[in-house]
Structure 1
Amino acid sequence: MAEPTLEGLRLALLDGNRVSIRRSDDPHPFDPFALPEHFIETIEIDKARYMGRDRKASLNFSPWFNALIGGRGTGKSSVVHFSRLALRRESEMMDLNERSEPRTTFERFNRVPRSRIDEGGLQEDTIITLTLKRDGVRHFLHWPQSRDGIAVEEQDVDGREASASQSITSERFPVRIFSQGQIAALADESQQALLSVIDEEASTSVQKAILDESRDQFLALQSQVRALDVKLQGHDALTVQIDDVKRKLQRFEEAHHAEILKGYQHRNRQRREIDRQFNTIENMAQQVEVFADTLMSEDIPDGLFDAIKAEEKDALGIVAALAEAVCAAESTVRESAKNLRSAVVAQRSELAKTAWQLAVDKAGSDYQTLVNILKKQGVTDPSEYGRLVQERQRLDGEEKRLVSLKNQRDRVVEHAQVQLEKVWEARREIYRTRQKFLDQTLARNPFVRIGLLPYGRDPLMAERSLRDVLGVSFDKYKEIIFLPMEGDEQAKGLVAELHRSLPESVSRATDEIENRLRQMHKRLMKACQNSGDFGARFNKFLLAESSKRPDMLDRIMTWFPEDTLQIQYSRLGDGKDFQPIIQASAGQRAAAMLAFLLAHGKEPLILDQPEDDLDNHLIYDLVVRQIRENKSERQIIVVTHNPNIVVNGDAEMVHALNFSGGQCRVAQSGSLQEKSMREEVCQVMEGGREAFERRYRRLGREVNDV
């Protein structure tokens, strides 16, 4: 209702219970002053080609049910297009088939014409402002054709100011917009549009973000493995070098000088370790001195304290005491560094006097004597042993480094496997979230049922997705990837094998598909390494492709077919005799999708001519009833030519549009309790009172004659 009047009360009494009258003993709670969490208040169109060119066009909306009516070409659908632009939902149209009617219509509208005869509903200076309430806060969304300026403003007690975030997304401003063409596209063969709607309503963005993050972490770990593999490439060659050096050293050891040689090697390793210990302490002393350089107090800014004042003099004294403490600490730290250096010098001196040092010197002397003996025995290069010993030491160090890298690689591989399982679990969680939403939303819906099949049963969609991952064009390797069934010949290829002869139980079928997916991943990975069972030509292609894309193997391991939907509709809308949607007429398909859209959600819903393709009984049983049931909990804006939707849906706000002076204008706005508004509705939607009464009298006489 608008302002309370006797006429409004009379109309409410005519509507009856559960429509415009609510009894105090009604078991269903009802708060007439409750508002939806999100609703659109107004939309202003300024300087569009056919609207708002001479003066701004402004439409105010009720938080509940709004109807836009008018003849053809009066701008009703344009208001929907303007809303889509203001809410930055152009991508929803771009996701449709490029030849689909709703997309081509929007593309013709969403452009600036270059000439008077060119298509386009915008101008260079077009500005759209959409005002909406979000959790009690008024927001202003601006869409200028130039794309410059502030996009989002918020209003508070002090007025309007730019929002801290200028982002306009469906998560921040949840509004659903559907034209009749979009509704029809939801049930097409690809099902991708409907799945996107389900994801948005089920809020799978969190689960998808987790999946993306898990996949990215897995890809990062696999990248580390590849980097470590590059570093480990010299491991085999190093093993050969070590064996060669060992064989050469064996000549010397077989001359019964092994004890001297081993003693020399052992003392050399001890000496290097002692040197490393001393060097470490020297580095510590240097680090302590560097730290001491940072210990200094900061001066108080000039003029901040007055030393003459007693109370401030005390504070300055405390600060001075702190400065002295810092200075003392700095001295102590420097003294510690000095002590460390002194300890190094003293202990080096002590080390030179130890029995161990004598043993080291003796091992060196014995080794030199051995070298001289070997020279006398005719060894061509007596110094070779020393070089070989040094080479063996270097190779041992390199081997230790590579062993450490190998151990690191093993740990990363193990971590990657754990992360891969997290990717699988994240993918399963997306399915579970979707299924939970469908179960809750359509539990008792008499018009439509939607089942969800994990990892899909649509071979064409799976084929497209797999080809994208492999980088294979659609005209190649059909028998390997997917070749549809022809006559008595079964479908062939990886996709066909994935879906063939699955158990009827969804849970068992899911387990089976997961097992087949893992086997498929392994086969493709082998093929990328040119050792698969697909044939030399396909293996060679994948080998070349994986060499160009190092992460191709990893993306294969994280590839999953998309879930598919099983949509069923009730022929009579009575919750019985559900049939596959593919057997439905255009009207039945539209009814099923409309039943789904109206069955869930609290966000504003904008529908552009939803009655197209629907039978009249479906318009009343489905659209009108659902609007009545939902409008107290969510805002609904409908563009329509059907009087049943406006009148029996009990629209709180009606905008009647017309075309005059080359512009689409709002001829009249108001509620149905206003007589002038009812007459306008009758004129626009029924052809006037006389035409309506004559049609009613003729229909009434025919009914009485039966």
Structure 2
Amino acid sequence: MGSRPASLATTRHGPARFWAVDLHVHTPASRDVDVRTYGASEPRQIVDAAIAAGLHAIAVTDHNTADWCDRMTEAACGTTLVVLPGLELSTAEGHLLAIWEEGTPAQHLEDVLVELGVLRPDHGELHKALEKGFTEAAKVITTRGGLAIPAHADREKGLLRLAVADRISQTLLDDAIGAVEMVDITEAERIKARLVGRRELAVIRSSDTTAPGASTHVLHGIGHRRTWIKASRPDLCGLRHALADPALRVSLEEPTAPEHTAIESVTVTGGFLDGQQFRFSYDLNCLLGGTGAGKSLLIELVRFALDQQTDAGDFPQVRKEVESRLKYALTSGSTVEVVLTRGRARCLVRRAYFEDGSTQPEFIGDTEQLTGLSGRIAITGFSQSEVIEYARTPVGRMALIDAALDLTEFEMREPEAVTRLNENGGLISSLENKITQTRTRLETLPEVEKRLDELSGLFDGETIKMQSKWSAEKALFEPLVGIPELKVIARTDSGERFRVPAAIVDNQDLYQRAQAAYAQLRDAIEETNAQLAQVLLVVNKELADIRQVWIERYRQFDAELAEAVSRIDIDNRGLAALRTRLIELQTEKAKLDAQQTQLNDEFLPSLAAATSYREELIAELIEARKARRRRREDRIKALNKLMGGIVRIKMLPENDDSAYLTDLTAIAKGSRLRGPVLQLICKESTPVKLVRSFLADDVDGVCAATGAERRHVETLFEHVREKGAIEEFLRMQTLDLHDGLSVEFRKHANDGYVAIERLAHGQKCTAILIIALADGNDPLIIDQPEDALHAPWIEEYLVAKLRDLRGSRQYIFATRSPGLVVSADAEMIITLTSDATNGVVEATGSLERHDLNTLALYHLEGGPIPFKRRTVKLGSSMM
């Protein structure tokens, strides 16, 4: 491994961004400029005009002279304009722009002119042509540190006007030519088509300080044709880097302002990264650093601040590792502040870390424009190794589909339906138990009636009738005891949520109104309960008095009846004892008759109503899940279009019956039903249908649907009732069998698709990352996306996709992959280093900055020595 680069005087460069540049500007130093019509006689006037035109950099390119270069550099001091000194050379074949780094003295440019054959007395001569052509002059310019660009190639004295086509192609393919300037924007595509497969040459447009309709150089034409280059700064260093990757860094049309949500900065107070602030680009950001420098920690801090960490339910081990990392790297009370933007909206999210329970995120700013219905700012995040877990588990794959969907509606509808179904299940279970118990007791009714008939013949008919009536009333009045405490109960705890300061300051009045409404409800409940208590006291006293009067009257009748029986029993047949038994039987029959009435008039109708209502609730739940499924299907269609046929996703029928089998096995425990029987029922029937058949006592329907033997289904149903597990059995109807997801991958366009379950580990991860990259414009944050990927695939799939999607989404990667940093061309690189106690930002910026380039070489390749060794040993394959 190479040694760490010596300490660099690093500065925090900004991220690469687009700058408007005009690389062909003439001043009065050009002898074809008429000061009277040009519009300026002083350098500062030109600088001001360029700034007013919205330019960030210009190149001073007067004809065969550098006379105004130093003056223009001096005039731009203290302004926002970068001035690059240059020349417009008249070569033997046409005009050639030569541009140097800002601050290069004019003397250097004049020496180059002399080297090219233009003697000092001839500097500025319009018609003094070099003996060298485009490529020969360009080689001298590049050797002397300049950048060579054929000027107005599609116009007079331009490269494309050469008579020999081969000479044009040779010039365009020569490495000394850094770009080509075109006047007509449509010619740019022709140049690209001409060079396809041989060279990616940048095409630029510049004003030549001319204006539409003007035949001479005029100041108001500055910038009317321009180029946008992406760099940390629009100096020659940035310009060279942009021209080397024109597909990403050069635009002939003004780039549109980003509309996606982006993380602007992260600031950490306390813990391992105490005092560090990280600024990000709207596009690709890469975090570099050695093990333990804090790059993975920064990923986790962003997810922590936005309360979007790894789901502990889906991936418990990953979440455990993340929690351990936060606990180690943060002190109690540490805070993380994340600033996010979208368009003109800007929001700060602050969250404090406490080991025993962290605070909720605090939102400040344009919250409503950046948060969804969930109340959170959406990001897509993957902790280290989390991509692997997504690739491995079906639940993880569905989470990728759901990431860009607003499922809030279903997250509310489904739990509500489940809650009502469970409440209904409790009611049905209670009614089923009551009905069973009542029917069991009613089995004694025929015997009671038979014995009652036998005893009734021993007594006077009228006596029996009267006794029967008193016995019937006894069943009514004996239980007449105090009514238990009654209270009105309503959910008022939701009102506590409005006691905190409003998230949106302008909505504080609504918070106060909500508090007042809940207070009014609580007062009304308290008043009502007080009134109920008073009325209940009076009613219970009255009921006790009524019961006592009835008891006294019954005792009087009983005494009279006993006396009558003693008069009748003159033969000492024991009628008194028989009367006692008669009373017991009459009382028992009265109770059974009441229970029969309750069964017919209350329990059975209530069960029928509850079962019917349950079907309505089931329909609601099924519709909610179908609606969610339809939304997922629409997203999958969109994703498949965006993935270009590399990955294909399909929705499958609900097929996860693991929870179903687990619950059914637990309920059937003790029934002696074997596992294969339960597996057959689960496989061939859904929980909804099985429970529906149970409630209808439809054993034959289950047998027909599943192929299970009748005795097995009967055993199951009987066991549920005998075990008292009706409520648990009914609860199975709320189980979500989960939508199935088929993910298929193919390496090449002519290959067939292969299911993800049959893919190698790296292929699985590649498929998941392609899905993650394909859709959505929320920030995508991944810790080491290259883990487990085959190196060529990083370039072939991830880098290619990142280049295609540039400008539509923000990416933040902690990585060691040269492909992601260099080939994908990160706009912002942040390198971190650390000692035993703290991690710090080492440098920031884009690759064209020397310090970033040096550090990237160290972190990604091990330094210059191993990089050179690999280049030497593998370079023959590039021949």
Structure-1-length-normalised TM-score: 0.62
Letter in 2 for 1:422: E
Q: 1:660 to 1:515 in 2, by over 3 A?
A: closer
- 8 Å contact 2:286–2:813 — kept in the other structure? yes
Aligned mates of 2:864, 2:726 — CA distance in 1: 74
Q: In structure 2, how many angstroms separate the alpha carbons of the residues matched to 1:517 and 1:226?
A: 16
Aligned CA distance change for structure 1 residues 242 and 582 (closer, same or farther; 3 Å): closer
Q: Which residue of 2 aligns with 1:224?
A: 427
Question: Which of 424, 433, 437 is equivalent to 2:631?
Answer: 433
For residues 534 and 601 of structure 1, what CA distance do their matches in structure 2 show? 52
Counterpart check, 1:33 vs 2:227: no
1:15 corresponding residue in structure 2 = 245
Q: Is the 8 A contact 1:527 1:533 kept in 2?
A: no
The answer to whether structure 1 residue 495 and structure 2 residue 679 are counterparts is: yes
- Equivalent of 2:283, from 52, 57, 64? 64
Alpha-carbon deviation of 1:646? 1.7
Alignment of 1:53-452 (within 5 A): 56-92=275-311, 95-96=314-315, 98=317, 102=318, 105-106=321-322, 108-111=324-327, 120-133=328-341, 136-146=345-355, 151-156=360-365, 172-188=376-392, 190-230=393-433, 232=435, 233-234=437-438, 237=441, 401-405=598-602, 406-443=604-641, 445=643, 446-452=645-651
Structure 1 residues 549, 618: CA separation in 2 closer, same or farther (over 3 Å shift)?
A: same
| Structure-1 separation of matches of 2:712 and 2:680 | 21
Q: SS at the partner of 1:450? A: strand
Deviation at residue 138 of structure 1 after TM alignment: 0.6
Is contact 1:134-1:173 (8 Å) kept?
no
TM-aligned CA deviation for residue 41 of structure 1: 2.4
Contact 2:410/2:624, CA 8 A, preserved across alignment? yes
CA–CA separation in structure 2 for the residues paired with 1:234 and 1:109: 61
**CA-CA distance at 1:468 after TM superposition:** 4.1
Contact kept, 8 Å, 2:671 with 2:716, in 1: the verdict is no
8 Å CA contact retained: 1:242, 1:392: no
* Counterpart for residue 467 of structure 1: 662
Partner deviation per Cα, 1:486-541 (whole Å, 9 max, x = no partner): xxxxxx44435655xxxxxxxxxxxxx5579735875799899xx99698999599
Deviation at 1:554, TM superposition (A): 0.5
CA contact (8 A) 1:249 1:388 kept: no
Deviations 1:607-661 (A, max 9, x none): 1111233233321222122223334222210111122212332322210112246
Q: Secondary structure at the match of 2:329?
A: coil
Task: Determine which of 650, 657, 670 is the counterpart of 2:832.
Answer: 657
Which of these two proteins has the greater Rg computed from alpha carbons? 2
- Give the residue type in structure 2 aligned to 1:154: F
The alpha carbon displacement at 1:246 in A equals 11
Does the CA-based 8 Å contact 2:654-2:740 persist in structure 1? yes
Do the aligned partners of residues 211 and 146 (structure 1) sit closer, same or farther apart at CA in structure 2, a change above 3 Å counting? closer
Name the residue aligned to 2:674.
Answer: 480
Counterpart Cα distance in 2 of 1:551 and 1:596: 41
Q: Distance in 2 between matches of 1:31 and 1:592?
A: 31
For residues 521 and 389 of structure 1, what CA distance do their matches in structure 2 show? Answer: 41
What letter matches 1:439 in structure 2?
K
Say whether residues 1:51 and 2:227 are aligned partners. Answer: no
Structure 2's unaligned 5+ residue stretches are: 1-15, 20-55, 57-233, 470-563
Q: CA deviation at 1:398?
A: 6.8
Which sections of structure 1, spanning at least 5 residues, go unmatched?
A: 25-29, 112-119, 158-162, 266-370, 482-491, 500-512
1:681 maps to 2:856 = yes
The match for 2:808 is: 633
Task: Give the 3-state SS of the residue equivalent to 1:442 in structure 2.
Answer: helix
C-alpha deviation, 1:591, in angstroms? 1.0
Contact 1:469/1:559, CA 8 A, preserved across alignment: no
Q: Which moved more, 1:202-211 or 1:691-700?
A: 691-700
For residue 595 of structure 1, report the CA deviation from its aligned partner: 0.7
User: Higher helix share goes to which structure?
Assistant: 1
Decide whether aligned partners of structure 1 residues 549 and 650 sit closer, same or farther in structure 2, where only a CA change above 3 A counts.
same
For 1:575 and 1:642, the matched residues in 2 are separated by: 28
Greater Cα offset, 658-667 or 688-697:
688-697
Quickly say closer, same or farther: Cα 1:640–1:517, change in 2 above 3 A.
same
Q: Deviations over 1:234-283 (max 9, x none)?
A: 46756976997799799999x9x99xx99xx9xxxxxxxxxxxxxxxxxx
Q: Distance in 2 between matches of 1:469 and 1:216?
A: 20
Measured in 2, the distance between the counterparts of 1:552 and 1:682 equals 62
Whether the 8 Å CA contact 1:546–1:553 is kept in 2: the answer is: no
Q: CA deviation at 1:418?
A: 3.0
CA distance, structure 2, for counterparts of residue 478 and residue 58 of structure 1: 65
For residues 560 and 552 of structure 1, the distance between their equivalents in structure 2, rounded to whole angstroms, comes to: 15
Counterpart code for 1:226: S
Letter in 2 for 1:627: L
Mapped contact 2:294–2:832 kept (Cα < 8 A): yes
CA contact (8 A) 1:42 1:61 kept: yes
Which whole-Å CA distance do the structure 2 matches of 1:180 and 1:590 have between them? Answer: 12
What is the alpha-carbon distance in structure 2 between the residues aligned to residue 516 and residue 226 of structure 1?
17
Aligned residues of 1:454 and 1:564 also touching (Cα < 8 A): yes
Contact 2:380/2:403 (<8 A) preserved = no
Q: In 2 relative to 1, CA 473–614 (structure 1 residues): closer, same or farther, beyond 3 Å?
A: farther
RMSD (Å) for aligned C-alpha atoms: 5.2
Render the CA deviation track for 1:410-452: whole Å, top value 9, x for unaligned. 2222222332333334344443333332222123523222223
The CA distance in 2 between the partners of 1:402 and 1:681, in whole Å, is 82
